[in-house]
Structure 1
């Protein structure tokens, strides 16, 4: 197993998210300012200023906190940075490894790992009916290697799934031949949509 350094695990690159956050934040801030003016006219200037300031501040916080969110793995330790703190889980010490599937217009496949201090969730794929986005191969490989260091049967099974996914991507296989896309079909056919955690047997069957 390769000893990999820091690898980003952001399914959607930050450079695509941040500009959209700024646009959405600017629109929300303008709406907030307008509502503040309206409230100032209809109620009182103090209420208007307070409401406008609160809404503009909320928009600013959403942009800043959203831009800070990152997920990465460094030598087998998965980290997720949120608005206020960073949560870390060493895959070799994880006590929980799950595959979470959300079925919707844009369906998602996520890996949730945890230990006594909490959980970290990593998005590994999202699909529509005719395409999707999958975590970059180097990122999937880093997660697969980290999971392979765990004594948990669920982690080893998932590591095998990710390796099979990488092989399918390497030969440019269709979606139906990719294990992560199969996870979506498993949930759809089971009737457990819109969101569920796959059983160990279902995870193992993804490589069949």
Structure 2
């Protein structure tokens, strides 16, 4: 019984693209920024004093190094019904069980994203669920993450939470049978917004969410 409860509350990563995927590229970017910064400092030392030359090198290198550090730190986890989002400074937690709003939000474009928007009191958290290109390829949140989100939303007292949970369950079934994109609810949600030729983010209405099933 204890093992079962521990398994249910175990934290699961829900990043659409885990930072580890970009780790080699980020290392190269950090080394390149460091090299350019050192080069700028050495070159400027020809006509500037060393303190100013070093300062110039830091101005060149630090923004990129800071971006790399911030990107590597960004992670999202789901433990039970609680989403924990790690940022550069601190951590935000949102409890799906206490959610006051649950929506599906689509960001259209050449690379369109569909995300889960959760509001709990003054806090709002976006959880990317999938992204699709115009060419019909893309990336979807891994099955375990979808399953845990569906379970947590199903326990919500909100009708919208139950509706989105059902969408995620249908998405899981479509992925399990390797269905075509047109049969996957998340992709159909993106297509609904693309058909509107919208250039800004769009919240799917209750009627549109129902159409995805």
TM-score of the two chains, using structure 2 as the length reference: 0.87
- Are residue 21 (structure 1) and residue 10 (structure 2) matched? no
Deviation at 1:177, TM superposition (A): 0.6
Question: Could you say if the C-alpha distance between residues 44 and 71 of structure 1 is closer, same or farther in structure 2, counting changes exceeding 3 Å?
Answer: same
CA distance in 2, matches of 1:202, 1:134: 20
CA distance in 2, matches of 1:170, 1:27: 42
1:97 alignment partner, one of 94, 102, 106 = 102
Match of 2:143 in 1: 137
CA distance in 2, matches of 1:67, 1:107: 23
1:159-198 aligned within 5 A: 159-198=165-204
Unaligned runs of 5+ in 1: none
- Are residue 158 (structure 1) and residue 131 (structure 2) matched? no
* C-alpha contact 2:150 2:164 (8 A) present in aligned 1: yes
Higher mean C-alpha deviation, range 139-148 or range 5-14:
5-14
Match of 1:110 in 2: 115
Q: How many residues align?
A: 206
Match of 2:132 in 1: 127
Unaligned runs of 5+ in 2: 1-6
Match of 1:62 in 2: 67
Deviation at 1:42, TM superposition (A): 5.7
CA distance in 2, matches of 1:47, 1:102: 44
CA distance in 1, matches of 2:209, 2:41: 52
Deviation at 1:145, TM superposition (A): 0.6
CA distance in 2, matches of 1:75, 1:87: 15
* C-alpha contact 1:108 1:123 (8 A) present in aligned 2: yes
CA distance in 1, matches of 2:41, 2:208: 52
Aligned to 2:195, the other structure's residue is in SS state helix
Deviation at 1:84, TM superposition (A): 0.8
* C-alpha contact 1:102 1:196 (8 A) present in aligned 2: yes
Deviation at 1:44, TM superposition (A): 5.6
CA distance in 2, matches of 1:101, 1:40: 50
* C-alpha contact 1:4 1:142 (8 A) present in aligned 2: no
* C-alpha contact 2:11 2:80 (8 A) present in aligned 1: yes
Higher mean C-alpha deviation, range 31-40 or range 69-78:
31-40
* C-alpha contact 2:15 2:77 (8 A) present in aligned 1: yes
